[in-house]
Amino acid sequence: MSLLAPWACVLVGCIFVSSAEVFSLSDRYPPLWNESPGQFSDYSVENGKYIIDPWVFPKRMGMYKILLNKTASYFEKFAPDNKQNLLWGLPLQHGWQYTTGRLVDPTRTTDCGYESGDHLCISVDSWWADMNYFLCALPFLAAVDSGLMGIPSDQVLLLPPPKDQTKFCLSVSSCQSSFPSTMRKWNAFYKYSCLKNPMDRGAWQATVYGVAKSWTQLGNYHFHFLSFSFHDIKALHVIYIL
Ligand SMILES: *[C@@H]1O[C@H](CO)[C@@H](O)[C@H](O)[C@H]1NC(C)=O
C-alpha cells in the first residue's frame, strides 16, 4: 500500500469493498463459477483445437477456472481446497466486473451484457472487458505454453470479438509475437511458482511485479498487484489505475 499515492488508495479501497460484496454474495466463488467450463473438453473442438469464445462471460470465466484447477496442486501445501492459490484475484475481479455491470456495451448500440438482452455477452466496447482480456488470455495462454495445462501450445484458439479484432491476440503464437515481454513474464511466473519447487513468496512477488510493470508498457495504465487475505482466501488482486 505504501507504494501507492493517496488518491490511488481510495480506488484500491473501492475495489476491496466491492470484492468483499462479491465474496459474501456468492459464497466466495465468482459469479457463474459452477456453470463455467472446468476442463478443456467442455469447450468445442475444431480441427483438433479447442475453441474458446472469451467474449461470453462463462467461457472467459472457464479459462480462469481451468487455470486455477491446473495450478491447484502447486498451492496445496499452503491450504486445502486451493484456497491459497494466489491467482484467485483474477477471476474474482472479473466476477466483480460482471456483477457491477462493467462488461456491458457502454455505447448501448447493442444489447450486449444487458439483463434484458444478451446478458452473458462481454462487450468489446467496454474498457474493463478489454483490459481483462489481457489479464485472462495472456496468463491462460502462457500457462498452456509452459506445459502446465498438459496440451500442446497450438491446440487452443480464442475467437475474435465482433470488431477491433487486430487489438486482440488469439493463440499462444500470436500473443507471443504481440506481447513478448508479458508472455515471457507469465511464463517465468509459472516456472517460479508452479513448475519449480517450493514457492518463495519473495521471488513470486518480484515476478508478479514484473508482470505488472510490463503491463504499464501496454498503455497509459498503471497496474498494481496487491495481495490480501479475505475470508481465508489469499487473493491476488490486480488493480488498475488510470
Ligand atoms: C480439477 O478438475 C478435475 C476435472 O474436472 C477435477 O476432477 C479435480 O477435482 C479438479 N481439481 C481441483 C483442485 O479443483
pLDDT at 24 over 80: no
pLDDT at 83 over 70: yes
- Pairing between β-strand 233-241 and β-strand 222-230 as defined by DSSP bridges: antiparallel
Tell me phi and psi for residue 51, to 5 degrees: -110, 120
pLDDT at 61 over 50: yes
**In this structure, are residues 227 and 17 in contact, taking their beta carbons and an 8 Å threshold?**
no
- If you average pLDDT over every residue of the chain, what do you get? 76
Ligand 1 centroid, distance to 150 Cα (angstroms): 14
Q: Of the given ranges (39-48, 116-125, 219-228), which has the lowest mean pLDDT?
A: 219-228
Cα separation values, 70 from 85, 87, 96, Å: 11, 11, 23
Residues with CB under 6 A from ligand 1: 38-39, 69, 72, 82
Round the CA-based radius of gyration of the chain to a whole number and report it.
17
**In this structure, are residues 22 and 96 in contact, taking their beta carbons and an 8 Å threshold?**
yes
Question: In terms of pTM, does the model score above 0.85?
Answer: no
Residue pLDDT, tens place only, 142-166: 999 999 999 999 999 999 999 999 9
Which pLDDT belongs to residue 5?
Answer: 34
Q: Whose CA is nearest to atom 6 of ligand 1?
A: 69
Which pLDDT belongs to residue 38?
Answer: 97
Which pLDDT belongs to residue 207?
Answer: 52
Find the mean pLDDT for residues 63-67.
Answer: 96
pLDDT at 222 over 50: no
Q: Where are the domains of the chain?
A: 8-241
Q: Directed axis angle between helix 127-145 and helix 89-99, to 10°?
A: 150
pLDDT at 4 over 60: no
DSSP 236: E
User: How many CA atoms lie less than 13 Å away from 102 in the CB half-sphere?
Assistant: 16
Q: Is 164 exposed, middle or buried (0-12, 13-18, 19+ CB in 10 A)?
A: exposed
Find the mean pLDDT for residues 71-93.
Answer: 78
Pocket test for ligand 1, best of 33, 65, 69 (most atoms within 8 A of CB): 69
Which pLDDT belongs to residue 195?
Answer: 59
Q: Where are the beta strands (DSSP E) in the chain?
A: 44-46, 49-52, 156-158, 222-230, 233-241
Percent of the chain residues past pLDDT 90, beyond the cut: 52
Distance CA 157, CA 169 (A): 10
